[in-house]
């Protein structure tokens, strides 16, 4: 028989878990938190989460409702899964929820969370960074000024794919390299080297870094779930990210130094994004807030990491869905033959006439939004959503992936059907665009924090798919099957890369060169 002290310890051990659950239930009720899974003491729902977090959260929403709270470690997170509540967070209370809680890995690699556009809180610094991105660099004039650089890289990809005719090609990997080369060329022109080989080498180095960074950003991190343990960096994620930042720092220093030497120390004509930023850095900012070399590097990193996988993955998804739906692929190619023909190569100037292909891209972004849970928002002070209390600093996930598959809005929501975006065939006559005004469809977000690179992403995605379809026929390697399953991460990826065989469909071989 156990001694009295031992018995007391045994009783305490038996009573502690129910007591903790009781306290958690009481706290949820008294603090007006929304419903959600109770989880376990200390760790909450961490042991139960699925790696496909967007699907897991959608399943919880079906059980607990369109707004739920879930405890992951010592943190309580909110998940919103309805258009109405998304509007409340992103539009009605946009200013209150416009800030971000940077994950530990993101802070470690970003040259300081307040120096980049993703992590900077809303204020003078963020407004300056936003202006530089949206108006100075990625606005119509900025994009038009580097159109020739984009054309150069697309021609290079066209030549490479033609050289691989009849051979299996990893479509996503090739589109990643194409997007990377376009973005880096757009940002700093031809200063990294005059030869294709040198550009390819630098692009390859960036690709490796970005792949490793996005993988770490998507990995569960003890430092985020238990901030008290962050100084110990239990999984070594911060150490790895700081190492990547050092490598990016060296690459950016080399690129910037080449630009300064090319300028000869004088005032250069603004021809790309890097020169725009260096001019602002030389001037010390806009008179309201400073703009430092770390801001230059942080924005370069934002563009490289944020613009590559999101765009290349969307292109890969579009190609996979069309190969799975041959009638869609056939109609898209027929449109290209009508607009461009087979005696010329599709150009950016043709994109405005490709109405059906634009519907294909819209449908791809509906089913496979680049960031299925977006970048979480966080209130700068205690607030409410759907009548529930949202404490200051809480991460609020908006499950755009689930919202865009709502069967009450979209007929046969799991089917790939570009025609649903045909003019005059929209639900309730609404206009489905990328501007975040319709909260049943907002693949690039909404409000102040809407994606800064929408114009660039739209142009790059449409141009990429148009080139692949107009210049080549595509088929799967013999004995393989198309896999449309998803792999969750910071960006929406295919679980199995799309490998397909291109064969030329243009009238003359010289069109590829």
For residue 495, report the phi and psi dihedrals to the nearest 5 degrees.
Answer: -65, -35
SS3 474: strand
DSSP class per residue in 157-222:
HHHHHHHTTTS-EEHHHHHHHHHHHHHHHHHHTTTT-SSHHHHHHHHHHHHHHHHHHHHHHTS--H
Q: What is the DSSP letter of 409?
A: T
Q: How far apart, in whole angstroms, are the C-alpha atoms of residue 226 and residue 242?
A: 20
Which residue in 413, 330, 329, 323 sits closest to 368, CA to CA?
413
Q: Say if CB 432 and CB 421 are below 8 A apart.
A: yes
What pairing do the DSSP bridges indicate for beta strands 67-72 and 75-80?
A: antiparallel
Which residue in 280, 255, 279 sits closest to 267, CA to CA?
279
**Backbone conformation region of residue 374, classed left if phi is above 0, alpha if psi is from -120 to 50, else beta:** left
Q: How far apart, in whole angstroms, are the C-alpha atoms of residue 398 and residue 82?
A: 8
CA angle 120, 122, 124 (to 5 degrees): 90
Q: How far apart, in whole angstroms, are the C-alpha atoms of residue 362 and residue 318?
A: 10
CA distances from 238 to 45, 216, 221, 248 (A): 24, 9, 9, 15
Which residue in 328, 303, 306 sits closest to 318, CA to CA?
328
CA distances from 447 to 59, 86, 100, 377, 470 (A): 27, 11, 14, 11, 36
Could you count the other beta carbons within 10 Å of the beta carbon of residue 468? 25
- CA 341, 343, 344, 349 dihedral sign is negative
Q: Say if CB 463 and CB 351 are below 8 A apart.
A: yes
133 is in an annotated binding site: no
Residues 6+ apart with CB under 8 A from 316: 171, 172, 175, 494, 497, 498
Which residue in 93, 64, 77 sits closest to 384, CA to CA?
93
CA distances from 410 to 97, 174, 426, 443, 488 (A): 28, 33, 10, 15, 23
What radius of gyration do the chain's Cα atoms show?
25
Q: Which residues are annotated as a binding site for heme?
A: 451
The annotation places the binding site at 451
């Amino acid at each position: 028989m156990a001694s009295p002290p031992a018995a007391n310890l045994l009783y305490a051990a038996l009573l502690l878990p129910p007591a903790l659950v009781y306290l958690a239930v009481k706290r949820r009720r008294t603090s007006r938190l929304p419903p959600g899974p109770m989880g376990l003491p200390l760790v909450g729902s961490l042991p139960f989460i699925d790696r496909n977090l967007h699907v897991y959260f959608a399943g919880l929403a079906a059980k607990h409702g369109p707004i739920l709270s879930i405890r992951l470690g010592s943190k309580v997170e909110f998940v919103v899964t309805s258009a109405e509540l998304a509007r409340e967070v992103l539009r009605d209370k946009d200013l209150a929820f416009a800030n971000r809680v940077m994950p530990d890995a993101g802070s470690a690699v970003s040259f300081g969370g307040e120096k980049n556009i993703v992590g900077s809180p809303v204020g003078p610094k963020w407004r300056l960074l936003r202006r530089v991105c949206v108006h100075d660099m990625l606005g119509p004039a900025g994009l038009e000024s580097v159109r020739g650089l984009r054309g150069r890289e697309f021609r290079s990809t066209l030549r490479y794919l033609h050289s691989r005719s009849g051979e299996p090609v990893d479509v996503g990997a090739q589109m990643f390299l194409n997007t990377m080369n376009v973005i880096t060329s757009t940002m700093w022109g031809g200063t990294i080297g005059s030869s294709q080989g040198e550009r390819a080498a630098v692009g390859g180095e960036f690709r490796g870094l970005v792949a490793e960074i996005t993988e770490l950003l998507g990995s569960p991190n003890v430092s985020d779930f238990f901030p008290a343990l962050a100084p110990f960096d239990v999984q070594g994620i911060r150490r790895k990210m700081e190492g990547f930042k050092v490598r990016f720092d060296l690459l950016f220093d080399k690129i910037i130094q080449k630009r300064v030497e090319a300028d000869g120390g004088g005032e250069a004509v603004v021809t790309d994004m890097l020169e725009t930023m260096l001019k602002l850095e030389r001037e010390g900012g806009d008179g309201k807030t400073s703009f430092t070399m770390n801001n230059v590097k942080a924005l370069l990193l934002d563009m490289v990491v944020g613009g590559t996988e999101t765009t290349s993955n969307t292109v890969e998804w579009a190609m996979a869905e069309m190969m799975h739906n041959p009638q869609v692929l056939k109609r898209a190619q027929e449109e290209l033959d009508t607009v461009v023909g087979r005696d010329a190569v599709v150009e950016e100037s043709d994109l405005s006439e490709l109405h059906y292909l634009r519907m294909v891209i819209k449908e791809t972004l509906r089913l496979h939004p680049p960031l299925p849970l977006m970048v979480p928002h966080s209130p700068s002070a205690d607030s409410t959503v759907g009548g529930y209390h949202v404490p200051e600093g809480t991460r609020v996930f908006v499950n755009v992936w689930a919202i865009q598959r709502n069967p009450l809005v979209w007929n046969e929501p799991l089917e790939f059907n570009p025609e649903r975006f045909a003019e005059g065939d929209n639900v309730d006559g609404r206009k489905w665009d990328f501007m975040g005004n319709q909260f049943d469809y907002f693949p690039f977000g909404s409000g102040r924090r809407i994606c800064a690179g929408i114009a660039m992403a739209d142009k790059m995605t449409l141009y990429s798919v148009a080139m692949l379809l107009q210049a080549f026929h595509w088929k799967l390697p013999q004995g393989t099957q198309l896999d449309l399953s998803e792999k969750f991460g910071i960006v929406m990826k295919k679980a199995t890369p799309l490998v397909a065989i291109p064969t030329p469909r243009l009238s003359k071989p010289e069109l590829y060169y």
